[in-house]
């Protein structure tokens, strides 16, 4: 499983195309993130519209991305969320941590 | 109309306009109910709106991972019968579709006699399940015990909980509650696997290794290959009685409440990568009770009272 990535200007976009609740999906996120990070991108946007479910495993992977960027004064953003993923982010107050990208 | 005599309901997802017409004409001649969407990628949204006995979906879509698409649909609608429609699937591809949960694979050009036979078989089986669900309205208690190895848990992603589907079918749980209960159990099982049997410590998630992988993930992979860890079992007991759903998850570890706390002082702006499973569990059920230092957890969820039909 690979998550597609795209670079537009200074921002790198990762499109999460499956639920984020398995080892396979977590590894796909890590791999896509590493690819963008190694290219020097420090503003990375996660598009989670393709995920209907996220669990603590997936959240851990998202937070790992957040911490790596924060350590280098970068920022992890999310496209506007919806449904269960939005509910989960709000429950865990991650919506306060990860700003929304409304550019595209 | 009785359950037994209800005609099949079919959702056809096919990008070929001519093919849609041919299918439509066949369905009408048989008196089957059907809806049509022009793209299999819209399946998830269509099924969210309305249930169907059978989905017939074109899986030969250029640039689309059809297997993944199928798995995503089945993850959300696990009992959905899906007939995959393909032009020339190889033996290996056909096998992959079956492994992903497809009910059958239909090759173009369509053998409609064969299609009719598959539909009748699926509908017969589904009507039987529906009758069972209705009769389940009279059932007031059920107990199921399951045992999984660590490898089972990884391969299954989650544990089967047919009771949750049945409670949803009779209206004792709504769809949202059913999803959250399944997730809460997934969290409890994940906890039993990682912190129980594999004895992984949350603080290792903060220790990054070269390549961006954390120590927790690396050790998790390593220990899943080590029989002294991976050979330990996880026991799941599901009890439904008097409107209360109770799910107990036990591991064979020493209990995560025995794990040493992180020695490193945490800065106030630090955000730990762990510790959210409990919050997700607590939000999904009415009660979460830990026993034996965390090597046992019981989740309790009161269901709605449903008047028996």
Q: Which residue in B251, B233, B237, B243 sits closest to B191, CA to CA?
A: B251
User: What digits encode the pLDDT tens for the residues B211-220?
Assistant: 777 888 889 9
Q: Which residue in B202, B28, B140, B309 sits closest to A64, CA to CA?
A: B202
pLDDT score for B269 = 47
Smallest CA–CA distance, residue B280 to chain A, in Å, is 8
Instruction: With respect to residue A36, please indicate whether it lies within any of the assigned structural domains.
Output: yes
B25 touches chain A (CB under 8 A): no
Across the interface, whether the CB atoms of B205 and A60 are under 8 A apart is answered yes
Chain B residue numbers with beta carbons less than 8 Å from the beta carbon of A59 are 276
User: What digits encode the pLDDT tens for the residues B113-149?
Assistant: 989 998 998 888 888 777 766 655 556 677 888 888 8
Taking the C-alpha atoms of residue B148 and residue B151, their distance in angstroms, rounded to an integer, is 8
pLDDT score for B102 = 84
pLDDT score for A104 = 61
What phi, psi does B247 have (nearest 5°)?
Answer: -125, 120
Domain residue limits at A81:
5-96
pLDDT score for A6 = 94
pLDDT score for B138 = 57
Lowest-confidence region among B12-16, B71-75, B193-197: B71-75
Instruction: With respect to residue A50, please indicate whether it lies within any of the assigned structural domains.
Output: yes
Whether residue B2 has pLDDT greater than 60: no
Domains, chain B, with CATH or none: 9-136 (3.40.50.2300), 141-302 (3.30.565.10)
Instruction: With respect to residue A104, please indicate whether it lies within any of the assigned structural domains.
Output: no
Instruction: With respect to residue A52, please indicate whether it lies within any of the assigned structural domains.
Output: yes
Q: Which residue in B137, B72, B49, B208 sits closest to B57, CA to CA?
A: B72
Chain A residue numbers with beta carbons less than 8 Å from the beta carbon of B72 are 18-19, 52
Instruction: With respect to residue A19, please indicate whether it lies within any of the assigned structural domains.
Output: yes
Across the interface, whether the CB atoms of A91 and B279 are under 8 A apart is answered yes
Q: Which of A55, A75, A82 to mutate to test the interface with B (most CBs of B within 10 A)?
A: A55
Span A7-20, average pLDDT: 93
Number of independent structural domains in chain A: 1
pLDDT score for B63 = 72
Helices B91-99, B66-76: inter-axial angle, 10-degree rounding: 20
pTM for the structure as a whole: 0.62
Instruction: With respect to residue A68, please indicate whether it lies within any of the assigned structural domains.
Output: yes
CA B11 remoteness from chain centre: 21
Whole-complex ipTM = 0.81
Whether residue B266 has pLDDT greater than 50: no
Chain A residue numbers with beta carbons less than 8 Å from the beta carbon of B276 are 56, 59-60, 92
What rounded mean pLDDT belongs to chain A? 92
Q: Which of B41, B44, B67, B72 to mutate to test the interface with A (most CBs of A within 10 A)?
A: B72
Domain harbouring A18, CATH code: 3.30.750.24
pLDDT score for A75 = 96
Q: Give strand pairing partners of A46.
A: A14, A78
Span A30-47, average pLDDT: 95
pLDDT score for B238 = 92
Chain A residue numbers with beta carbons less than 8 Å from the beta carbon of B76 are 52-53
User: What digits encode the pLDDT tens for the residues B248-257?
Assistant: 999 998 766 6
Instruction: With respect to residue A12, please indicate whether it lies within any of the assigned structural domains.
Output: yes
For B:66-105, CB contacts with A below 8 A are 68, 71-72, 75-76
Instruction: With respect to residue A101, please indicate whether it lies within any of the assigned structural domains.
Output: no
% residues pLDDT > 90 (chain B): 28
């Amino acid at each position: 499983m690979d998550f597609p990535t795209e670079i537009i200007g200074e921002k790198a976009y990762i499109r999460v195309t499956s639920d984020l609740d398995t080892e396979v999906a977590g590894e796909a996120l890590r791999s896509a993130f590493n690819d963008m990070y190694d290219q020097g991108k420090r503003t990375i946007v996660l598009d989670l519209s393709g995920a209907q479910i996220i669990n603590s495993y997936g959240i851990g992977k998202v937070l790992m991305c957040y911490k790596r960027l924060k350590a280098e004064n970068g920022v992890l953003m999310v496209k506007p969320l919806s449904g269960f993923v939005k509910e989960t982010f709000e429950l865990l107050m991650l919506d306060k941590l990860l700003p929304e990208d409304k550019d595209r | 109309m009785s359950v037994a005599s209800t005609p099949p309901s079919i959702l056809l997802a096919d990008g070929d306009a001519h093919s849609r017409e041919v299918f439509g004409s066949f369905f009408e001649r048989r008196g089957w109910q059907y809806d049509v969407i022009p793209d299999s990628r819209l399946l998830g949204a269509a099924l969210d709106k309305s249930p169907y006995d059978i989905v017939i979906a074109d899986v030969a879509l250029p640039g689309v991972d059809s297997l993944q698409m199928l798995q995503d649909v089945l993850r959300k609608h696990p009992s959905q019968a899906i007939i995959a429609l393909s032009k020339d699937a190889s033996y290996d591809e056909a096998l992959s579709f079956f492994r992903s949960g497809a009910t059958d694979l239909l090759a173009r050009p369509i053998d409609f006699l064969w299609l009719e036979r598959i539909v009748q078989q699926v509908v017969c089986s589904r009507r039987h399940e529906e009758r069972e669900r209705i009769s389940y309205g009279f059932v007031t208690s059920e107990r199921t015990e399951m045992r999984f190895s660590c490898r089972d848990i990884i391969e299954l992603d989650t544990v089967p909980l047919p009771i949750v589907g049945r409670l949803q079918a009779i209206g004792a749980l709504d769809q949202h509650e059913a999803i959250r209960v399944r997730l809460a159990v997934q969290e409890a099982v994940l906890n039993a696997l990682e912190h129980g049997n594999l004895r992984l410590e949350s603080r290792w998630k903060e220790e990054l290794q070269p390549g961006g992988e954390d120590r927790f993930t690396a050790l998790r992979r390593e220990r899943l290959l080590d029989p002294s860890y991976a050979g330990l079992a996880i026991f799941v007991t599901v009890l439904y009685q008097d409107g209360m759903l109770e799910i107990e998850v036990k591991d064979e570890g020493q209990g995560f409440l025995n794990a040493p706390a992180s020695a490193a002082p945490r800065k106030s702006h630090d955000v730990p990568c762990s510790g959210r499973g409990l919050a997700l569990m607590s939000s999904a059920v009415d009660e979460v009770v830990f026993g034996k230092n965390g090597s046992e957890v019981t989740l309790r969820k009161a269901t709605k009272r449903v008047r028996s039909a």
